[in-house]
Every structure is written in C-alpha cells, then in structure tokens.
Structure 1
Amino acid sequence: MSTPADHRSIVVGVDGTATALAAARWAGDLAARQCVPLVLLGVAPALDHPLTAVALAETDLLPELRAAAQRKVEEAFAAVRGDQPQAEIQRIVEAGIPARKLIERSAAARIVVLAAKPTDRFSTLLLGSTALVVANKATCPVAVWRGKTDHPLPDRRPVLVGVDGSPGSAAAIGEAFELASVLDVGVLALHAWNDPDLLQWTPVPDAWTTLAQREKALLSERLAGWSEKYPDVAVTKVVQKSLPAQSLLEHAEDAQMVLIGSRGHNRLTGLLVGSTSQNLLHHSPRPVVICREQ
C-alpha cells in the first residue's frame, strides 16, 4: 500500500441530503485509509448573497440557518465517526455560496467530494450549478458521488480510469493508481477510440486489426511506468472502438468509481468539463472523479 505524498485534507460538502451523507461516509473511508484529515463543510447563506440578503435581513433567519447547517454537519460527523472511530475529522460551517467555499478549500485539499442526487439534471441546483462549477474551477481532483446510499463505502471492485492521451487523462491515471493502491484493488484502464476520419475509409483487409493494435500500443504507452511505481496494483487493459462515454458507462457497472481527465477550456464556454465528463456526471452509477493537469 502506498504512502500519501502529503497530509492535505479530503473536503466534503454537507447539505443534509441522503446522498451528501453517503458521500461523507465514502470520503471518510478514503481519508482514513490515506491518513489525512476529513473536513466536513457546511455552508449557510450569507448576508452578501444577492438573492437572500433582503429576506435574511428582514426576518433575521441567519442564525437559524447557520444552526441548521451545523446540525447537518453534526449528523454527517456521527455517521462518519461510526465508520471510522480513529479518523481525524474537522467540522466547519461557513457563510457564503457552496460552490465558492468548496473551490476555496480545494487549494489545500487532496480531493473535494460532493454529492449528486439521482434525479439531477442541468436545471437542478446541485449538479446544474454547484457540482459543475466546482468541477470546472477546483484546483484539486473533484469527486461527484453517485451510487446506493445504503452501501456507500468502497468495496473490492476495481477503479476504472479513462485514458485518452490528454494531460487531464495523465493526471487521472496517476490518481487512479494511487486510489487503487490505497483501496488494495486493481485498475481497469479503458481506452475508447472512435476517430470520425477513419469511418470514411474503405478498410483494406486487416486494416481495423492494425488500427486496434495501434490503439493498444497507445494505451500501453500511457500506462508505462505506473505499474513499476505501484507494483501492488493489478492492471487490466481494455481497448474498444466506441464513444468514450458509452464505453465508460458500460464498464462502470463493474467498477467502484470512474476517473477521467478534464479536456481543457472550451473556446466558447470556458468550461473545463467536456461532454464525456458531463455525460458521466449525469448517468454514471458510480462516483466520478474529475482530474486535471496540475
């Protein structure tokens, strides 16, 4: 099992929902295994929030809302403490906007964890706003927890990582090996290729076989050195001619989490999270960890 490179904390957003409670327990397990502190962060509305300032000032609700946020943090603390009696757990309640507070905490975090509701879509508050904003702007990996709330803790299934040759993918590979080593499980490295230009060809005999061999060599090249660094981690390589999101969702059923890299800023939107990442954030049955080049 590997030794953490530093003692940065794992930060998890707490909002009182069942998925947030499950995310906190999942994050607590990772923190205990990596011997790093777990930060349970609750966020109460602030007077400077443009949509709530007048209402809060007139009704004097701020103390009550802060107390409610504190109760949610204490509930999460009790749940995590039940799983991890010896873990170092910090309870923090701040006033402000959840996405902004999580992004601020990401500067000193090992990973930021937040929950997605099973019915989330772009129009909902959590995944449509907080999760995407944090995934785009956090300076550390961001895990959006998805799964069954009654079985949130890591298990014996492998860690699935998407490999495409981008800098973000390289960061995801490193994170996947680290987490797999910590969890004492294997890595399932998936490279899906679907070059539209190739579809215009009329392949000569064995052309697709040759192309598949080329893609297998690319995957091996991207993974080179990681098995030497993490000799305790078994690696399974999969190469498919398919859309990346489709292949990752198919293999996610047999994995315990999915790691992918961000694809860099889109020139039109300025977003880091690409279409594959957004597809997984909305449809993956497992936690999705988005990584970018540091």
Structure 2
Amino acid sequence: MASLENSVIVGIDGSAASTGAVAYAAHTAATRRIPLVLVTSYTMPAAMFAEGMVPPQPVYDELEKECQPIVEQARATALKVAPDIEVSHAIVEGNPSQVLIDYSRKAKMVVLGSRGLGGIKGMVLGSVSASVASHAYCPVVVTREDTDDLDRTGPVVVGVDGSEVSAKATSWAFAEASARDATLIAVHTWMDPQVQAAAAGIALTDEDWRQLEEQQLETLSERLAGFSDRYPDVRVERVVTRDRAVRALVERAEDAQLVVVGSHGRGGFTGMVLGSTSRALLQASPCPVMVVRPESHS
C-alpha cells in the first residue's frame, strides 16, 4: 500500500453511497494531484473464538478475501473517474471508525458517503461518520448518494465566524476553490440584533441596519484578506446575513460543489455526537460537506 502521507482516504463498504464517495474522492485526488487510498475493514466474529484465543491466520485470510470484491469495485470506479491517479488500498481488521481515525493522522482528508437524509449504513454517515468527523486529525468530507456531486461546477461555500477553527476552515475552502477553479462564497452570519434590541425596548432604524451590515461586511473582508493574498486566483463573493448559519449555508449550497464548515469542539462535537451546525449541514446540504476541526492538520 502506498504511503498515507498527503493522500485522500475514502472509506468503502460496497454500498451505492460508498461508490459515490469513491468517485468524489478520486476527482479530488486528481485535482490535488495526490494519491487515493481505498480503505475497508472487517471484524472478527466474537462468537467463533473463546476470549483470549488468537484466531488462526486462515480465518483472517478468508475475511480479507471477502473484502476483495469491494476493493476491486471501488478501484474500477476511481479509475473511471480519474484514470491517471495513483490508487492503493488497505483491508484492515478492526472497528471502521477507529481505522479511519488512525489513518487520518497522516492523510490530507478523509471522504465518506451518506445515503441522504438520515441514511445510515456501515462505513457511511451514521455512527462511523459521526465518530470520524468528531475525532479525525484531518478534514472529513461527507458526500451524498442522492446527488451527482461530480457534475457540480458551482462555487465553494464557507462559513466564517472569526474563530480560530473558522480560519482553518477558510484556509481549506480557499485551497479547494483554487484547486477546482471555483468562486468562493464566504458567508458570515451574526446574532440577530433585532432580538436583543427588542428585549431592550429599542427600535432599530433602516440606517441602523445599514451601518450594522457595513460593519459586519468590513469585519468579514478583514478576515479574508490574508487568504485572498495567498490565493489571488480565487474570486471571492462576500455574504453578510442575519439569517441562521445553517439556513444561510444550505441556501447557498444549492448550486455549490462543496460547503466547508469549522467545528468548535466545545459543545459542538461531544463523543459520538456532531455539533448542531455540522450535523444539520450534513443532513440538509444538497452538496458535499467538509468538516474541519481544531486538530485538523494542513
């Protein structure tokens, strides 16, 4: 198997959602000019052996052999999308979540598939994806089975809130937009001051709203300035809105090829549970979602 360094890892299980994830991962590997690694796993049936007993090697060999058709199917899908990429694979005994988390320590990104709203199966969105997105050491992209992600040529969308992890997500978004020759739409939402003003008995005028929006737009521009200098080829569209973050991002994801969001970790990802914004995006986004955590390496 090729080195995991600077590669795209994709979790595979033979499902249609997994096949879509492979196609997306192969396309991404091609645009980035980096290798693709197909990863699947199996678990030893606990009922077959007494506790502490080491199964004989032929048992491992047979379980690995059963995974081979999944690998070959995924390889064919990847090479159909990107004939020139380097493709390797790994068939690993162990919990699929932990396998992918371990691999994420060196990988550029991990890609997983989702069957759509609430869809859960094996290596796709569900407990595995929640765990991987919660603990991976690199960004995790979740694709959707019910959309043709490769036909999308629209913008890359990123949520910007001024936090450190948001800056990391913004950096990834610029890199993806550059690699895809796509426009970047930077979306900044803020706590609706109308609620606060109403509570204080203050009526905001149209001029007040205009000044607030100008201030927020200036703040957003400042947060993007350094990245624009690093990626002068990326055209940036700045959006400031009082809408809820998820709704604003989903709305602009309709024609997008990727939405990038940072996860704060505190009150966001807890154990196996995704944070509210990331979870809602993974459920509602019409395009692939990249989740970037504070621990994500570049």
| Structure-2-length-normalised TM-score | 0.86
Rounded to whole Å, the distance in 2 between the matches of 1:189 and 1:268 is: 23
Rounded to whole Å, the distance in 1 between the matches of 2:69 and 2:231 is: 41
Rounded to whole Å, the distance in 1 between the matches of 2:230 and 2:282 is: 30
Q: 2:30 aligns with which of 32, 40, 43?
A: 32
Letter in 2 for 1:191: H
Identify the residue that residue 178 of structure 1 maps to in structure 2.
175
Counting only pairs closer than 5 Å after superposition, residues 1-294 of structure 1 correspond to structure 2 as 8-45=6-43, 47=44, 52-55=45-48, 63-120=61-118, 126-148=124-146, 151-153=148-150, 155-195=152-192, 197-201=196-200, 202-205=202-205, 206-266=207-267, 269=270, 273-294=274-295
Rounded to whole Å, the distance in 2 between the matches of 1:129 and 1:74 is: 25
Structure 1 pair 56/156, CA: closer, same or farther in 2 (3 Å)?
farther
Rounded to whole Å, the distance in 2 between the matches of 1:213 and 1:167 is: 23
How far did 1:94 drift? 0.6
Secondary structure of 1:115's counterpart equals strand
How far did 1:44 drift? 1.2
Structure 1 pair 25/268, CA: closer, same or farther in 2 (3 Å)?
closer
Secondary structure of 1:254's counterpart equals coil
Q: Which runs of 5+ in 1 are unaligned?
A: 1-5
Question: How many residues are aligned here?
Answer: 281
Measured against aligned partners, the alpha-carbon deviations of 1:55-80 in whole angstroms (never above 9, x if no partner) come to 5789x976554323221111010111
Rounded to whole Å, the distance in 2 between the matches of 1:245 and 1:7 is: 33
Given that 1:43 and 1:94 are in contact with CA atoms closer than 8 Å, whether structure 2 keeps it comes out as: yes
How far did 1:108 drift? 0.5
Measured against aligned partners, the alpha-carbon deviations of 1:141-169 in whole angstroms (never above 9, x if no partner) come to 010112545x3326321001011111111
Given that 1:42 and 1:70 are in contact with CA atoms closer than 8 Å, whether structure 2 keeps it comes out as: no
Rounded to whole Å, the distance in 1 between the matches of 2:270 and 2:293 is: 17
Secondary structure of 2:37's counterpart equals strand
Given that 1:143 and 1:287 are in contact with CA atoms closer than 8 Å, whether structure 2 keeps it comes out as: yes
Most deviating of 137-146 and 212-221 = 212-221
Rounded to whole Å, the distance in 1 between the matches of 2:110 and 2:198 is: 40
**Percent identity (aligned):** 38
How far did 1:34 drift? 1.2
Letter in 2 for 1:245: V
Secondary structure of 1:227's counterpart equals helix
Q: Which runs of 5+ in 2 are unaligned?
A: none
Secondary structure of 2:125's counterpart equals helix
How far did 1:119 drift? 4.1
Letter in 1 for 2:219: L
Given that 2:268 and 2:274 are in contact with CA atoms closer than 8 Å, whether structure 1 keeps it comes out as: no
Given that 1:23 and 1:152 are in contact with CA atoms closer than 8 Å, whether structure 2 keeps it comes out as: no
Letter in 1 for 2:47: V
How far did 1:176 drift? 0.5
How far did 1:92 drift? 1.2
What's the C-alpha RMSD, in Å, of the aligned pairs? 2.5
How far did 1:200 drift? 2.5
| Structure-1-length-normalised TM-score | 0.87
How far did 1:276 drift? 0.6
Most deviating of 99-108 and 283-292 = 283-292
Rounded to whole Å, the distance in 2 between the matches of 1:28 and 1:198 is: 50
